[in-house]
Structure 1
Amino acid sequence: MNALLRHASFTRFWAARVSSIAAQQMLMLAVSWHMYDLTGSAWDLGLVGLFQFVPAFATTFVAGHCADRMHRGRLVALCLGAQAAVATLLAVSTAMHTVSRDVLLGLSLLLGAIRPFQMSGQQALLPMLVPSSLLAKATALSTVGQQVSVIAGPALGGLLFAVGVNAVYGTCAALFCVSAAMCAFVHYEYVPPPREPVTAETILAGLHFVWRNPLLLGGVSLDLFAVLFGGATALLPIYAREILQVGPQGLGLLRAAPAVGALGVGLYLSRHSIGDGVGKKLLAAVALYGVCIVAFGLSRVFPVSLLLLAIAGGADTVSVVVRQTLVQLETPDRMRGRVAAVNGLFIGASNQLGEFESGVAATALGVVGAVVFGGCATILVSIAWSQLFKPLAQRETL
C-alpha cells in the first residue's frame, strides 16, 4: 500500500473518487427516498433506475471515444461539476416547493447521460497513474475507497435527513465540487492521439474488442446478469419502511451494509494477491452473493439483514477486483476508454436496469418474492457462466 501512496497523482485521484462516490450515494439515497415519499410506489422507484439507464445506453460509446481522445482527468472533473449542478437544482426546486415526480425523473435522465463519461474516464485513467505491477493492488485500494464512500455517504445522508432533504442535496453539491477540483489537477503522461475520422467503426471499436475476447465478454456479462437479477438496492426503501420498520436512518445503514463487508475484503486484497484459481473464485463469489440476497429477502431481523448484506458486499468485491483487473490488463491503452465504456454500460445496466427489474418484479411477485427470485437467478447465472465461458472459469492468475 505504501508503494501506491507514493504516486501523488494516484493519491489525488483516489481522494477525489472517495469524495465523489460518497456524494453520488447520498444523492441517490435522497432521490429514492424523496420519490417514495412523494408517490409511495415501487414502480416509480424502479423508474428512477430506468431513467438513468436509457440515456446512459445512448451516450456510452461516445463517452468511450471521448475518454480515448481527451485528457481523462479533465473529462472526469467536467462530469463531477455537472453533477454538482444537478444537486443544486434539486435543492433549489425543493426549497421552492416545485419538486415533483417528473422533476426527479427528469434529473435522473440527466444524471444517466453524464455518468458514462465519468466512468469511462475514471476506468481508463487508473492504469496511467501506477505501474502495471501495482494495478491489481491499486484496483483493490480503489475498491476500498469506493466502499468507504458507500458506507459514509448513505450513513451521513441518513443523519442529514434529520435536518431536511435539502441538507443532503447541498452537501452533495459541495462534495462534487471538491472532487472536480482534485481531478482537474491529476497529472499523467498525456500524449494527444493522432487525428482520425470519427466513424461508427472507431466509436464501436471497444464493443468489437470485448466481443472477440471470450474472457472479457464473460467477465463483463457476468456482472450484468448477476446484479441485474440479484440487486435489491431499489427495494431497500420499502424494506426500511414496511418490512424492517427502521425508517430513513435504517435505510442509510442498509445501503451502507454491503460496503462494510466490501471494505474488509478490499483492504485484504490491497495487501494480498488473490492467488491461483481466480476464475473459480470469481464464480464462487457470485454464487455466494446470490445466496446472501435470497437470505436477506427472507429475513425479518434487522441485524441479520445487515450481516447478510455485508457478506454479499464482500463477495461482490472479489468479483469486482478480478473483473476490473482483467479488463485493464487485457486491453491496450489506446482502447481503454472505449473498452471502459462497454464495461461501464454493463455495470450501469446491471445497477440501473436492475433497479427497474426490481420494481417490475416487486409489482408482479411482491417485494419479498422479487428479492428471493433475483438471488436464485444470480446463483443460476454463476453456474451457467462456468460452462459458457471456459476461458474465464479456467483462468488461473490475474
Structure 2
Amino acid sequence: MISFTPLKTLQNVEFRNLLTGRFFIVLAFRMLATLLGWWVYELTKDPFSIGLIGLSEVIPAVSCALYAGHVIDMNEKKKLLLICNYAYIFLISLLLIPSFLKVEMHFTGHQITYFIYAVIFFTGIIRAFIGPILPSMIPKIVKKENLPNAITLNQATFLISSVCGHATGGFLIGYFGIKWTLVVIILLIFIASLFFWQLNKQYSEYKKESINVVESMREGIMYIFKTKEILGALCLDMFAVLFGGAVAMIPVFATDILNVGAEGFGLLNAASDIGSMCIITILSIIPLRKNQGKILLTVVAGFGICIIGFGLSKLYWLSFMFLVLSGMLDGISVVIRGTIVQLKTPDHIRGRVLSVNSIFIMSSNEMGQFESGLTAKLLGVIRSVVFGGSMTVLIAMIVGITNPKLRKMQY
C-alpha cells in the first residue's frame, strides 16, 4: 500500500526550510571538494597531494567530534548552525585571495597548496560541529510518527545534492574557472543560511554550569555502548564502509580489467549513487513497516555479496549492475540505521550520539580507502575487493548472531 506520509512531512514549513538549506550547503561542499581536487592536482601534478586534502579535513573533524557533540547538546542549535555556516563562508572566502591574486602576489603552486591545506584544516573543525547539528534538529521539527520518513527525505536530499554538486562543480570549473566557481560556492552557502534563519530556536535542556565537559562526552559514549541497537547499527555502518570500499578501486577496474575508458569510468563511479537515489525515492513513498532489524542485517550482507560479484565480474554491464544493486542495498541500510539512531536517542544526548556516529562514518570512509589500497597492494586488486566483500558479509553475520536486540528491532 502506497503511503502519502512524504506529502504530510513536507507540509511542515520548518522541515522544508531545513531540507532546502541542507541541499544548498551540501551542494556547495561537494562542489568545493571537486574544485579542490582539481586545483591541487593542477598546482602539483601529484596524485598524493589530492589525498592530503581529505586528511587535512578528517584529522581535525574526528579529533573535535566528541567535544562538538557536547557543545551541540549544551547550546541553542540554530545559533550554533548559523555560526558554523558563516564561519565556512569566511574560510572559503580566504581561498579567493590566491585564486584572484596569484600573479599579483607572486604565489607559487606549493605556497597555494599549503594555504589550501591550512584552510581545509579549519573547515574540518567546523565540519565536526555542523555534521551532527542538522540531523539532531529533525526530531524536534517533525512528529515522531513522521520521523522515519523525514530521515528518508533528509538522506534523499543529501544524495541528490551530492551528485549534483560533483557534476555542477566540474561544469563550472570547465566553463568559468576556479575563482568564479569559488564565488558560486560561497553564494550557495550564503543562500543556505537564509533558510536556516527561518528555523525555530532549539534550546538545551541542560544548565551549562552544572555539566563537566569530560563527563558529558563520556555520557554520550557510554549511552551508545549500553544501547545495543545503536551500537550494532554503528558497527555495521563502520565495517561495511571499511571493508566494502570497492569504489576506491573503480578507476583500476575501468582501465585495466573492464577496459572501458573514461566514459565507462564515469558511469561506474555514479552507479552506486544511482542505486541509492532510486531506492531512497521508493522508500520515501513506500516506507518499511516492520522487521527493520532483520532487513538491516540482510541488506548489509547483500551489499557484501554485491561487492564480491563486482570484484569477480569481467563484464562491464554486470559490474555496473552489481554497483547499482549495492547502492540500493546501502540506501536501505542508511535509512534504517539513521532511523534507529534517532528513535533510540533521547533529545538531551542526541548531539553527542550523532557526533560519535560522525566519527564512525568519517573514520571508516578514510580508513576504507586506505584498507582498499593496502589490500590491493598485498593481494591484488580483484582479491582485495573479494576479500572486502567477504568481510562485510562476515561482519553482518557476527552482528546478527551477537546482537539479538538489533535483530529484533522494529519501529
**Normalising by the residue count of structure 2, what TM-score does the alignment of the two structures yield?**
0.85
Give the 3 Å change call, closer, same or farther, for CA 19–284 of structure 1 in structure 2: same
Counterpart of 1:200 (choices 194, 214, 218) is: 214
1:379 partnered with 2:393: yes
Aligned residue for 1:221?
Answer: 235
Aligned residue for 2:86?
Answer: 81
Q: What is the identity, as a one-letter code, of the residue corresponding to 2:243?
A: F
Deviations 1:124-171 (A, max 9, x none): 111111010100000011111111112211222232342234454333
Q: In the TM superposition, what is the alpha-carbon distance from 1:351 to its structure 2 partner?
A: 1.7
Q: What is the identity, as a one-letter code, of the residue corresponding to 1:78?
A: I
Counterpart of 1:119 (choices 131, 140, 145) is: 131
1:262 partnered with 2:256: no
1:324 partnered with 2:364: no
Q: What is the identity, as a one-letter code, of the residue corresponding to 2:221?
A: L
Q: Write the distance in 2 (CA, Å) between the matches of 1:161 and 1:245.
A: 25
Q: What is the identity, as a one-letter code, of the residue corresponding to 1:176?
A: I
Deviations 1:298-350 (A, max 9, x none): 55666655443332221111111111111111111111111111111111112
* 1:308-387 alignment, distance < 5 Å: 308-365=322-379, 367-387=381-401
Q: Are the aligned partners of 1:298 and 1:368 in contact in 2 as well (CA < 8 Å)?
A: yes
Q: Write the distance in 1 (CA, Å) between the matches of 2:163 and 2:152.
A: 16
Q: What is the identity, as a one-letter code, of the residue corresponding to 1:184?
A: W
Q: What is the identity, as a one-letter code, of the residue corresponding to 1:2?
A: L
233-242 vs 61-70, greater mean Cα deviation: 233-242
Q: Write the distance in 1 (CA, Å) between the matches of 2:392 and 2:108.
A: 40
Deviations 1:163-204 (A, max 9, x none): 234454333222222112322331155366323233311122
Aligned residue for 1:162?
Answer: 174
> % of aligned pairs identical?
31
Q: Secondary structure at the match of 1:204?
A: helix
Of the two, which has the highest radius of gyration? 2
1:172 partnered with 2:185: yes
RMSD: 2.9
311-320 vs 6-15, greater mean Cα deviation: 311-320
Q: Are the aligned partners of 2:217 and 2:352 in contact in 1 as well (CA < 8 Å)?
A: yes
Q: Write the distance in 1 (CA, Å) between the matches of 2:302 and 2:181.
A: 34
Q: Are the aligned partners of 2:296 and 2:336 in contact in 1 as well (CA < 8 Å)?
A: yes
Q: Are the aligned partners of 2:242 and 2:365 in contact in 1 as well (CA < 8 Å)?
A: yes
Q: In the TM superposition, what is the alpha-carbon distance from 1:59 to its structure 2 partner?
A: 0.5
Q: What is the identity, as a one-letter code, of the residue corresponding to 2:340?
A: L
Q: Are the aligned partners of 1:49 and 1:356 in contact in 2 as well (CA < 8 Å)?
A: no
Q: Secondary structure at the match of 2:18?
A: helix
Q: Write the distance in 2 (CA, Å) between the matches of 1:157 and 1:232.
A: 24
Q: Secondary structure at the match of 2:207?
A: coil
Q: Write the distance in 2 (CA, Å) between the matches of 1:106 and 1:368.
A: 37
Q: In the TM superposition, what is the alpha-carbon distance from 1:66 to its structure 2 partner?
A: 1.3
Aligned residue for 2:23?
Answer: 18
Q: What is the identity, as a one-letter code, of the residue corresponding to 1:82?
A: A
1:52 partnered with 2:57: yes
Give the 3 Å change call, closer, same or farther, for CA 292–172 of structure 1 in structure 2: farther
Q: Are the aligned partners of 1:77 and 1:179 in contact in 2 as well (CA < 8 Å)?
A: no
Count of matched residue positions in the alignment of Structure 1 and Structure 2: 395
Deviations 1:33-69 (A, max 9, x none): 445553444x555444433332122101111111112
Q: Write the distance in 2 (CA, Å) between the matches of 1:306 and 1:74.
A: 44
Q: Where does structure 2 lack aligned partners over 5 or more consecutive residues?
A: 1-5
Q: Are the aligned partners of 2:70 and 2:213 in contact in 1 as well (CA < 8 Å)?
A: no
Q: Where does structure 1 lack aligned partners over 5 or more consecutive residues?
A: none
Give the 3 Å change call, closer, same or farther, for CA 357–334 of structure 1 in structure 2: same
128-137 vs 299-308, greater mean Cα deviation: 299-308
Q: In the TM superposition, what is the alpha-carbon distance from 1:354 to its structure 2 partner?
A: 2.3
Q: In the TM superposition, what is the alpha-carbon distance from 1:369 to its structure 2 partner?
A: 4.8
Q: Write the distance in 1 (CA, Å) between the matches of 2:34 and 2:253.
A: 14
Q: In the TM superposition, what is the alpha-carbon distance from 1:88 to its structure 2 partner?
A: 3.5
Aligned residue for 1:142?
Answer: 154
Q: Write the distance in 2 (CA, Å) between the matches of 1:113 and 1:389.
A: 34
Q: Write the distance in 2 (CA, Å) between the matches of 1:250 and 1:91.
A: 34
